[in-house]
Amino acid sequence: MLKLLKTHFGFDQFRPLQEEIIREVMAGRDALVLMPTGGGKSLCFQLPALLLPGLTLVISPLISLMKDQVDALRANGVAAACINSTLSRGEIVKIQTEAQQGKIKILYAAPERLILPEFQHFLQKIKVSLLAIDESHCISEWGHDFRPDYLNLKILRDLFPGVPVLALTATATPQVREDIREQLALEQAKLFISSFNRHNLFYTVLPQREAYGQLLEILGEHRQEAAIIYCFSRKDTENLAADLRGEGFKALPYHAGLESEERRTNQESFIRDEVQIITATIAFGMGIDKPDVRLVIHYHLPKSLEGYYQETGRAGRDGLPSKCILFYSSADAVKQQYFIKQIEEATERKNAYRKLEQMVAYAELTHCRRQHLLAYFGEDYPREKCDGCDICLSPPQEFEATIVSQKIMSAIVRTGERFGMNHVIEVLLGSKNKNILERDHHRLSVYGIVDDFSKEDLRRIINQLVSRNLIDKRGEAYPVLALSQEGQDFLRTRQKICLPRPIAPAKLSPAREAVDREYDRELFEKLRVLRKQIADAQGVPPFVVFGDLSLRQMAAYLPQSEKSFARISGVGQEKLNKYGKVFTEVISTYAGEKNLPEKGVPLTGTEKSRRLKREGSTYQETKRLVLEKMSLEEMAGVRNLTARTILAHIEKLAAAGEEIDLAYLRPGAERFAKIKAAFQQAGGLALSPVKEMLGEDFSFEEIRIARLFI
């Protein structure tokens, strides 16, 4: 498996759960896999397909996604194809013939094709060894993205009763999981749940006041990087794309109302890096496999937390830092309520209100957004702060909210606990609204008693009081406010309360200069141009040639030989043969012009293990001395080596996962804090800038040891 992983996909080790899932599949057993976007779901069926006899049939709901995956597989030397409505009759017959001849290992198809008798007849003529159901949450009416065509998948169980089924999804609440099990007859399937935490994504919510100006500023900071902007309506997507083009950005709209050819062209332009920005409707799943999206912006409020999570999951699929930004105002929630009210089926309507309420709660959080998102999917986040959301990076300051809370709760009581939030707020602000005057609420003692908070501030305070169980919301479409028992006690006993005050959100990404220090930006741009030229010549998206992560590593380590180039992440045998020479030539020329030396590409996990074994005598001898708790100087003396060499051994032992306790070597708390602060200020893990900051009082060796703990 590891050999195939490196040869075809260019990776040296599996991501969490991948190996366990693949072993389950290879044993011929069903499995249900919950893994976040970018977590490596596809590999769980793509790798077994190479090992199993016959063909792996993959059911996928989106034609564009199929095409991207097929392009990527072929680039990696895997025989793959897809059958969908964009192909001619002749093309479909050709693919089916090749499948019958055993020339195809992975075949993608849309769920609606399964009800066609002709397609069923074709499937019965080929040996299918594995059924993979991608986006399996689409089979559940409880999910955010139900597709009736997915109910056709039950046919597969009848056609292939003994063939293992692998159901995969990036978003599924416990209720949706059970629905998938039931609908696909996966009662005996082993459940694999990967962490839903996307470490590289940064979450922030911005007020929608002056949203367009803020948007331009954000896009200006990421001018060469891919961005998806989700809007409420089709008209919004087209207007925003036109506005952005007027500002000099390359932007196109994408929604279900466009002619299919225009939609396909716009998406293709985005995938091929010909435009940087796509504006899309939140209701329409784009289904793109583009790994280098750096920004996902929700210009309007999504319908559900599940949908929001999946849409933000399209950012940073290559593991590099990316931002997820939500512009929010209560007006968006009111707009959504209007459309929910039109839903005729009572259960569906009630479900939509509940999901909207969860989305609003997320937008108005005063604690860690990552923690809240993970809790929604039933996962505990062990840390108090994630340092990857606006709230953790810039915690809201608390203010003395006793008086305003008392005023709000008194207004709820005085109006009879029969009115919604807007009415209560308008009473407090002294509005001359017709409803207030007709009900004589302008004569109440609470009328106009708030003049130091805006309407938006009061709404947020009320929601915080609801979250603290002091106020109840009763009803669905038009919930009224009433005091809970705790709220009544709060008023009666004159308790005090402090609440978070919204403040300006923090900048989420490290300074551009700090990021650029990690790799040569000029060389990265040259490699991007080369990648685009090769991709255009082959008719594939640039990321099919190499992802951004691979290019950044090339620009950081300057590999100029076949051996060192092969160590770059994402370089398998197929890509080494195809592209190794042309990329190393560009790197060599650039390095020669700039007089830059090649840097050693870090050994991959498997290579490290092999090398530690091969050179076991020297590494294991250092390990033995560490276990005896010797100081660096003592080890250097015993081994007759320099302290620098001993440190290199320790770093390699630690990186290879060897069990060694290094705590005794760690600098004292005060000195360690100074070193850590210097690394943070330097914006990377390079030693020289840190040594320069700290001066002669700190040795390189002490800084290197501290780095092991940072």
User: What is the rounded average pLDDT of the residues 332-360?
Assistant: 85
Structure tokens at 145: 């993205």
Strand spans (E) along 212-329: 226-231, 251-254, 277-281, 293-298, 322-328
Task: Please give the residue that has the higher pLDDT: either 26 or 710.
Answer: 26
Euclidean distance between CA atoms 404 and 418, whole angstroms: 20
For residue 470, the one-letter residue type is: L
User: What is the rounded average pLDDT of the residues 587-611?
Assistant: 72
Question: Would you state the pLDDT for residue 284?
Answer: 54
pTM metric for this prediction: 0.65
**Helices 643-655 + 632-639 axis angle, to 10:** 110
For residue 443, the one-letter residue type is: R
Indicate whether 625 pLDDT > 90. Answer: no
Residue showing tokens 């402090």:
498
Average pLDDT, the chain: 86
Question: Would you state the pLDDT for residue 165?
Answer: 94
Structure tokens at 683: 């914006």
If DSSP codes are grouped into helix, strand and coil, which group holds residue 191?
strand
Structure tokens at 316: 């940073």
Euclidean distance between CA atoms 535 and 524, whole angstroms: 16
If DSSP codes are grouped into helix, strand and coil, which group holds residue 124?
coil
Euclidean distance between CA atoms 275 and 638, whole angstroms: 61
Give residue-wise pLDDT tens across range 413-442. 999 999 988 899 999 999 888 889 989 999
- Residue of 133, 121, 117 lying closest to 31 (CA atoms): 133
β-bridge mates for residue 168, sequence order? 33
Give residue-wise pLDDT tens across range 496-540. 998 887 544 444 444 333 344 478 989 999 999 999 999 999 988
Asked if 703 and 690 touch (Cβ cutoff 8 Å), the reply is yes
Task: Please give the residue that has the higher pLDDT: either 475 or 324.
Answer: 324
Task: Please give the residue that has the higher pLDDT: either 325 or 284.
Answer: 325
Asked if 128 and 163 touch (Cβ cutoff 8 Å), the reply is yes
Task: Please give the residue that has the higher pLDDT: either 38 or 621.
Answer: 621
For residue 299, CA distances in Å to 169, 296, 352, 602, 631 come to 25, 10, 20, 41, 57
Euclidean distance between CA atoms 597 and 685, whole angstroms: 19
Give residue-wise pLDDT tens across range 207-252. 887 788 889 989 988 888 999 999 988 999 999 999 999 888 999 9
Indicate whether 306 pLDDT > 60. Answer: yes
Q: How are beta strands 201-207 and 322-328 bridged, if at all? A: parallel
Structure tokens at 473: 């919301």
Asked if 215 and 297 touch (Cβ cutoff 8 Å), the reply is yes
- Residue of 182, 146, 455 lying closest to 330 (CA atoms): 455
User: What is the rounded average pLDDT of the residues 27-53?
Assistant: 89
* Alpha helix segments (H runs only) across 124-207: 154-159, 174-183
Give residue-wise pLDDT tens across range 449-497. 998 888 888 888 898 898 888 999 887 667 889 999 999 999 888 889 9
